[in-house]
Amino acid sequence: MKNMSRIIGFTLALVLVLTSLGAVAFAAEGKRNIVIGLWWDKYYDSTHETLEDDPSYQGTISDQMRFDAVKKIEDKYDVTIEYINLTYVGTQESINTSVLAGTPDCDIYLVDTAIGVPAVMNGYALDMKEILPADSDIFTDKIIMNYLDLGNGGAYMLKPVAAQTQVEATYPLMFNLQMIQDANLEDPRVLYENGEWTWDKFLEYCQALTKDTNGDGIIDVYGFGGYEGEWFECMLMSNGTHVASDGIENFSSAEVTEVLQFMQDMYLKYNCAYPYAQESASDIMRYIYRDGKCAFSPGAAWILGANADYNWDGSAASTLEFDMVFVPWPVGPSGDQATNKMKLSNGEFYIIPVGVEDPELVYNVFYDFTDWYNGDVSIRDDAETLGWWYGITGKDLDIQDWNFEVMYECGLREQFDLVSSLSVFPDFTGFFNGDYTPAQFQETYKQEFQDALDTTFK
Amino acid sequence: MYKKLTVLLLCVALTLGLAGGIAYAADGSAPSIDFEDGLYGFVGLDMSAGNADASVLSVVDYLGSKALKVEVQKKVPYVIFEISALLGDDVAKLASVTMDIGIDNGADDKFYACSGRIYKYFGEENEKTYDEWSVYLASRNPNAAKMAMDDDEAFIAGAGNYIVLSKEVDNYATKTGDTPVSMYIDNVCFYDAEGNMLAVDTSAMFVPRETGTDLSNLCWLTGATAFEGFAKSAGAWSQDGLEMPQEIIDALVPGSGVQIEFSSESGDMWIVMPDSAAGWMRVGGCGNGNSYINNAKSIAQIPYELIAKFCGEDKSTWGARMQCEASGAWEVYSVSVGKLVPQITLSNTVEFEGFQKSAGAWSQDGLEMPQAIIDALVPGSVVEISYASETGDMWIVMPDSAAGWMRVGNDGSAICVDGKCYITYEMIEALCGADTSTWGARMQCEASGAWEVYSVRVGTKGEMAPLSNLVSFAGFETSAGAWSQDGLEMPQEIIDALVPGSVVTINFASEDGTMWIVMPDSAAGWMRVGGCGNGNAAVKDGISQIPYELIEQYCGADKTTWGARMQCEASSAWEVYSVAVGTAAE
């Protein structure tokens, strides 16, 4: 056995030295091989010889363009590009060992927030602001590349831009347009445009729209109705705050107190929020708007789609008589309309690890590789792909387009916050019932958030 | 020049450091287990998971020394290290384990990364947590893996604690669909909290664990009569069997079925009635119906009605012999005949608080029914009793019924399987009347031998459909967090298999036992089916079944509008091992 270890050690030494000098696995002679480590198979790279190497090849123009882009980049930069599937665990291990050792296995890593954030916190990722010119697309127009703002001033986690990834998982506020018109209230979109869409105004609207419509002494329509998950997330962002964006919980902060106070007041003080469902709240509270029982609700394409609200493509059995229109959330006392975030970050990102040779070259190769559509976003975001996103939220073309634009705008303003992914579940039902004051609520759950963060960032 | 030299030296230094890490022990002492003695009786396979692989274990030469080879056959290997036996009382000192893990290249001689877990089962209750390992680059193959105990975790001597090494991601198998690559384990080191190596007894032996019987796709077999001596084997398309004894002929009645415990290279199994008056007859395969076969391909069931369909209603014409056959080489371990009863599931359950009772044969004991139990006793409900009795039977007594002191289920109508007894509302209603207010205050249990009841509960009765003709949804192995969906585009064979009477069957694990499907592209809208108010999947023992008719109810009668993809989802973190579409029994 001891002999085996020596043999392994010597062989590995040779292999590693050779591979370190000649890139990881694939490299044409004399060329640098830019290696992208990830945990599923992606196409195309320099190892692929035909379009059919991608098992999901469908003969589209975009397939051809993605395939051709590899050759163009090879010629432009005199490099080769290679995806290496490390597995998810292997990606974590590769970052934690090879980057720490100063010799990254890969030039670029695909990461999610669970891998990427600790990598950034541990100093394993390069800050593009220290690498790239200030007028780079990633810092200006963000047509091809964006980054996740971790609130530390750096640009570590790269995010290729695409309309679909931009609009998915966004939760704008939506309102019943006809209710607003019937009440002769100014359109919230106009208020937002004028910088007047604030929590106070929102509360004023919710109170005005809460009505006993048949005079029987029972409220029939409430100003607001929504599920705690997306409501709390969006209220946090609208107040310029968060709960779990770094290693220290912020659930106990004064800004979060403002959020909680506002949410609870809507129930207990102003009685302008639809009574919270004591069971199956996620289903029930996402359906209230559909029955015309509330004017405002957190919106999402998937919610309107799941409820089959609008017969936009002829497939739904019916269509709502009223329009649900998207608008950014009102601005809280600690928020700022110009800087408020509007979408919790999720999905996939890329990092360029510390220790990579010539990181600007690596970035430029990756940027061009990402821009296989030559800056023509109409190819990247082709209508067929996005048809559902455009159509699902309304029956009227103008409203469909408007809602899409709001979702897109939300997607451009990402907030990194693990509030909903730490498996901490505050008892909002009890909170809305008045079982806790905001301070008691924060005291009850702050340690759970901190413990979960300690686990995440360890 | 200097730069290149520096890089070279750095690489050498790094490599030697890594190689040192890969070598058997950080302090240079011999590893606890290096397999040089050829012993590996302390390892075995954990087959309890739905995706468990029947891997072949052996000690082989690997990179110039001996190592444990795990030759994977098809799915995920779970290799148990019997640490309680290896370490004896020292298991309580065990704080960490390291080992070297290597993997073979794929059949194309290319390297494909793999990863897995080292599960630790610790404490009196064998609680489970895990650490992860990976072999992610050819230059890091083999790679060192480590499992460490957290502060609140401890192995306990005498508690039967163990660790399990799995390989759950295999990029070669995922990419090519071929057999997963083999894995090699060497230089296993056991350390205490101070980093001292712990000595082991490599002559220790693996203790096989009771992993339960896979009853997926099957009925319960009750009142079984064994077909004595039916242990046979033969090659593909060859038949072998025995003359049917009288007790088997007697047991073959409507509602009964033949159950075969078997293995076959092809995974199929059916019977042949060679002397049938209707002609030499296959039943349960080859166009003559299909046996119900479990996912483990170890049990087949052929209903009486299927035999009658092909051999005639008069069983006296079925001939003297019953044989088995499969399309691959096969071995049958036992055959029995009994009543085939669809497996019962309970949902919306209400516990009968405090119902822990025992009594002698033909003695009753019980409790006054709490209001929650009375409320739960509605048409379609069922009483489930967890029990043990000397005679195996169990029923209830309603001593205060207005219809008189009443036994319910003692006539054989109660379904008693594996320590559970089921008595439906309708059975009680038939004897005590339709008005539950006349059933009296108390419910009691009774059996014909001394008995003990551990719990009683009432819930909505459901049934798992026995399935045949399963069409696998290729590649549907995935996992996600609570309320997250994942799935695949439906291949044509799955679309074709989705016909009235078919059932989607999902082999899964989830933290809260829930599992349903999502049809995200349905023209009727993004649609959950089998959960969250959109019907209930039948769920039991890690199997979730969603009938075609339920999908039809929510996605519409025209399956061409159901969209391209099928996904799974649960209300807790979940993992799906396989998905298939089968044909439910008529």
B453-504 per-position pLDDT tens digit: 989 999 999 999 999 888 889 889 888 888 888 999 999 999 999 999 999 9
Q: Which CATH number fits domain B24-191: 2.60.120.260, 2.60.120.580, 3.40.640.10, 2.40.128.20?
A: 2.60.120.260
Beta-carbon contacts of B338 under 8 Å, excluding residues fewer than 6 positions away, are B221, B222, B223, B224, B225, B251, B256, B257, B259
Q: Which CATH number fits domain B467-584: 3.40.50.11030, 3.40.50.300, 3.20.20.70, 2.60.120.1070?
A: 2.60.120.1070
Length in residues, chain A: 458
Q: How confident is the model at residue A355 (pLDDT cuts 50, 70, 90)?
A: very high
The residue of chain A nearest to residue B37, with distances taken between CA atoms, is A1
Beta-carbon contacts of A49 under 8 Å, excluding residues fewer than 6 positions away, are none
The yes/no answer on whether domain A173-345+388-457 falls in CATH 3.40.50.970 is: no
* pLDDT exceeds cutoff 50 at B21: no
d(CA B444, CA A376): 76
- At B557, the amino acid letter reads A
Please report the pLDDT score of residue A386 as a whole number. 84
Window 27-46 of B: residues touching A by CB (8 A cutoff) are 30-31, 34, 36
CB atoms within 10 A of CB B241: 20
Nearest 5°: phi and psi at A110?
-75, 135
d(CA B528, CA B521): 11
The residue of chain A nearest to residue B34, with distances taken between CA atoms, is A1
Average pLDDT over residues A261-275: 97
Q: Which residues pair with B169 in a beta bridge?
A: B115
Nearest 5°: phi and psi at B288?
-100, 65
The residue of chain A nearest to residue B33, with distances taken between CA atoms, is A1
Q: What region, left, alpha or beta, does residue A229 occupy, with left being phi > 0 and alpha being psi -120 to 50 degrees?
A: alpha
* pLDDT exceeds cutoff 70 at B245: yes
What homologous superfamily does CATH list for A22-165+346-383? Periplasmic binding protein-like II (3.40.190.10)
Contact residues, chain A, for B63 at CB < 8 Å: 4, 7-8
Using alpha carbons only, how large is chain B's radius of gyration in Å? 28
DSSP string, A274-285: PPPPSSSHHHHT
Average pLDDT over residues A273-282: 86
The residue of chain B nearest to residue A310, with distances taken between CA atoms, is B525
Instruction: Find out whether B330 and B263 touch, Cβ atoms under 8 Å.
Output: yes
Q: How far apart are the first and last CA of chain A?
A: 35
Does residue B562 sit in helix, strand or coil? coil
Average pLDDT over residues A325-333: 98
- At B264, the amino acid letter reads S
Nearest 5°: phi and psi at B38?
80, 0
d(CA A312, CA A395): 5
Instruction: Find out whether B473 and B490 touch, Cβ atoms under 8 Å.
Output: yes
Task: Indicate the range of A119-123, A385-389, B212-216 predicted with least confidence.
Answer: B212-216
* pLDDT exceeds cutoff 60 at B3: no
Please report the pLDDT score of residue B204 as a whole number. 86
- Closest CA of chain B from A12, distance in Å: 7
Across chain B, what does the average pLDDT equal?
89
d(CA A357, CA A73): 18
Beta-carbon contacts of B66 under 8 Å, excluding residues fewer than 6 positions away, are A1, B34, B35, B36, B38, B59, B60, B186
Q: Give ∠ CA B105-B110-B115 in degrees, rounded to 5.
A: 55
Mutation test of the interface with chain B: which of A11, A42, A86, A89, choosing the one with the most B Cβ atoms within 10 A? Answer: A89
Contact residues, chain B, for A92 at CB < 8 Å: 132, 134
CB atoms within 10 A of CB A352: 23
Contact residues, chain B, for A113 at CB < 8 Å: none
CB atoms within 10 A of CB B108: 11
> Is B9 an interface residue toward A (CB < 8 Å)?
no
Does residue A389 sit in helix, strand or coil? helix
* pLDDT exceeds cutoff 60 at B379: yes
pLDDT, tens only, B294-317:
877 889 999 999 999 999 999 999
Length in residues, chain B: 586
Please report the pLDDT score of residue B378 as a whole number. 94
Contact residues, chain B, for A13 at CB < 8 Å: 12, 15-16, 19
Q: How confident is the model at residue B9 (pLDDT cuts 50, 70, 90)?
A: very low
Which segments within B16-108 are labelled E, that is strand?
A: 43-45, 56-62, 65-71, 78-81, 96-103
- At A61, the amino acid letter reads I
Closest CB from A12, A90, A302 relative to B15? A12
Buried-state track B137-159, b at ≥16 Cβ within 10 A, e below 16:
bbbbbbbbbebebeeeebbeeeb
- At A38, the amino acid letter reads L
Does residue B282 sit in helix, strand or coil? strand
Identify the DSSP state of B285. Answer: B
Q: Which CATH number fits domain B344-463: 2.60.120.1070, 3.40.50.970, 1.10.760.10, 1.10.10.10?
A: 2.60.120.1070
Average pLDDT over residues A220-242: 97
Closest CB from A1, A25, A103 relative to B11? A103
Task: Indicate the range of A130-134, B56-60, B479-483 predicted with least confidence.
Answer: B479-483
Closest CB from A3, A16, A25 relative to B65? A3
Please report the pLDDT score of residue B82 as a whole number. 93
Q: How confident is the model at residue B396 (pLDDT cuts 50, 70, 90)?
A: very high
Mutation test of the interface with chain B: which of A2, A3, A5, choosing the one with the most B Cβ atoms within 10 A? Answer: A5
Calculate what percentage of chain A has a pLDDT beyond 90: 71
Beta-carbon contacts of B151 under 8 Å, excluding residues fewer than 6 positions away, are none
Nearest to B75 by CA among B163, B174, B164: B174
Stretch (H or E) spanning A324? strand A324-327
CB contact under 8 A, B524 and A317: yes
Alpha-carbon separation of residue A59 from A50, A71, A157 (angstroms) = 12, 18, 32
CB contact under 8 A, A103 and B139: no
In the 3-class helix/strand/coil scheme, how is B479-503 assigned residue by residue? EECCCCCEEEECCHHHHHHCCCCEE
Beta-carbon contacts of B86 under 8 Å, excluding residues fewer than 6 positions away, are B32, B33, B42, B190, B200, B201, B202, B204
Closest CB from A13, A92, A317 relative to B15? A13
Please report the pLDDT score of residue A59 as a whole number. 87
DSSP string, A350-366: EEPBTT-SSHHHHHHHH
Please report the pLDDT score of residue A345 as a whole number. 86
CB pairs under 8 A between A and B: 142
* pLDDT exceeds cutoff 60 at A363: yes
pLDDT, tens only, B184-204:
999 999 999 999 999 999 988
pLDDT, tens only, B64-94:
999 999 999 888 899 999 999 999 999 999 9
Q: How far apart are the first and last CA of chain B?
A: 79
Alpha-carbon separation of residue A245 from A112, A248, A335, B352 (angstroms) = 14, 8, 16, 46
Identify the DSSP state of A245. Answer: S
Alpha-carbon separation of residue A328 from A192, A287, A352 (angstroms) = 7, 20, 33
Contact residues, chain A, for B65 at CB < 8 Å: 1, 3-4
Average pLDDT over residues A70-99: 97
Across chain A, what does the average pLDDT equal?
90
pLDDT, tens only, A178-229:
999 999 999 999 999 999 999 999 999 999 999 999 898 899 999 999 999 9
d(CA A105, CA A352): 11
Average pLDDT over residues A143-170: 90
Please report the pLDDT score of residue B211 as a whole number. 59
Q: What region, left, alpha or beta, does residue A308 occupy, with left being phi > 0 and alpha being psi -120 to 50 degrees?
A: left
Question: Same topology for domains B344-463 and B467-584, yes or no?
Answer: yes
* pLDDT exceeds cutoff 50 at B6: no
Q: How confident is the model at residue B8 (pLDDT cuts 50, 70, 90)?
A: very low
- At A161, the amino acid letter reads V
Domain ranges of chain A: 22-165+346-383, 173-345+388-457
d(CA A286, CA A276): 11
Closest CB from A4, A89, A94 relative to B132? A89
The residue of chain B nearest to residue A101, with distances taken between CA atoms, is B14
In this prediction the pTM is 0.62
Question: Same topology for domains A22-165+346-383 and A173-345+388-457, yes or no?
Answer: yes
Contact residues, chain A, for B132 at CB < 8 Å: 89, 92
* pLDDT exceeds cutoff 70 at A21: no
Average pLDDT over residues A409-433: 90
Burial class (CB in 10 A: 0-12, 13-18, 19+), A278: exposed
d(CA B209, CA B211): 6
* pLDDT exceeds cutoff 70 at B29: no
Q: How confident is the model at residue A90 (pLDDT cuts 50, 70, 90)?
A: very high
Please report the pLDDT score of residue B12 as a whole number. 38
CB atoms within 10 A of CB A18: 11
Using alpha carbons only, how large is chain A's radius of gyration in Å? 25
Calculate what percentage of chain A has a pLDDT beyond 70: 92
pLDDT, tens only, B95-147:
999 999 999 999 999 999 999 999 999 998 888 889 999 999 999 999 999 99
d(CA A430, CA A436): 7
ipTM of the complex: 0.71
Contact residues, chain B, for A94 at CB < 8 Å: 136-137
* pLDDT exceeds cutoff 60 at A19: no
Nearest to A198 by CA among A336, A295, A325: A336
Instruction: Find out whether B525 and A308 touch, Cβ atoms under 8 Å.
Output: yes
* pLDDT exceeds cutoff 80 at B286: yes
Contact residues, chain A, for B23 at CB < 8 Å: 5, 8-9
Please report the pLDDT score of residue A17 as a whole number. 39
Closest CB from A84, A88, A103 relative to B14? A103
